[in-house]
Structure 1
Amino acid sequence: MEDFIQRYVQAGQTSVANYLLDHFREVGMTTDQLLVYFQLRRYMDRGRQLPNADEIAAHLGWDKQKVYQLLHELITHKLMTITTVTDSQGQKQDAYDFRLLTEKLSQLAVQETQQQAQATVSNDRSAVFNQIETEFGRPLSPLEMESITQWLDQDHYRPELIQLALKEAVLSQAYSLKYMDRILLSWERKNLKTAAQVQREKERQEPRRTNPTNGNGTGGGEVPDVPIFKLTDR
């Protein structure tokens, strides 16, 4: 047993990124190509940059021609190249290079991020329409839907800001997009573009509400034309 453990440790390990295992098909790699990649990495991690196809075929139990064909496919599909490198003794030698594979994986990650962002935006938009219909207690008309779409696409109001304006309208029992539009325009004039900015403006205005007098003791404090509620209000 001790002899086995020693041989097991001496054989070393080959590290493979889980991201590759999760997405190798999405970058155009077949299962057979992946197995060849594992064998190549095994030798490359040991310092052999251009392992022999005969050895790889022996490990996989395949014909050598199949290994050659798979290596050709990896190059043709732009998953691998053969480059020239300089070893520690200053000698040049050919080596397998998988930077193209890494680039494809990185591009896939960027696409996933973009898709997730688009899905989030789509969900936020749907939430805006659904919440307005719920609070109004009726389906939106085509004209109302067009107005909300304009808020999002042309005026570039964030969904969270539209939802805050809806809350203000509901608190005032004004179930109208026109009322919401006045609120949004008021916030736009104050350059309030996020929920956090609305909250800060609310906190800034509170002292004026509690003490609406000027230095002479007469009324002169500024009261905001549209009330701004706390985000924690229910």
Structure 2
Amino acid sequence: MDRNKIIQWFREGSIAIPRVLLTNYKELGLNETEFMLLLHIHSFIDSGITFPTPEQIAARMTLSPETCMQQLRKLVQKGFVAIEERIDEQQIRSEHYSLEPLWEKIVRHLLKEPLREENEQEEELYTLFEREFGRPLSPMECETLAMWIDQDEHDPLIIKAALREAVLSGKLNFRYIDRILFEWKKNGIRTIEQAQQYGKKFRKPPMKQEQGAYKPTVPFYNWLEQS
């Protein structure tokens, strides 16, 4: 065996796995595949690779890159991993994985704080978005949803209403939905009723039915044009 290779293995060091994670991952709602994937992300971050690709992670596991991507998306969706953005001294933006949500879940589990109702609401929201978009959400899109809830503190019902507004407007994309949520928050919109009342100010009345023909219309307000 190559002596230099053995020395390199020792130089790579080791990672510390919290015993509380090892003994409680099942109660946290993780299966073995998700648990192992989290350990690999932890290992990559510890070695200075803060945003490993699915191909890099899959190379260490028995998963294909496609399956690895699906599992990563689930971990973000379930609130175990976050994708955060950094800006360096040269103002270059980059993304990196954060395991802070995982540690937060462990703390809440140890303190026996309720998680189930909150998780069910968020999972329902992700399911709704995937149904409307007609495809699985990417990890970055899952993280955007998590940010709307955790950082911007939008109620899931308001997010659903913004999604419906985007669907009716024929502008189904995250940028448009984010703009709607921004405008609603700026104008103090906190409930479905307030959102409906606010939207009426910008909607044109439906076209009158002409003789011999009916022309259905769905009036909408272009939120991206709001300054």
TM-score, L = length of structure 1: 0.44
Q: Which of the two has higher C-alpha Rg?
A: 1
* Structure showing greater relative contact order (alpha-carbon pairs closer than 8 Å, 6 or more residues apart): 2
| Higher-helix-fraction structure | 1
Structure 2 length as normaliser, TM-score?
0.45
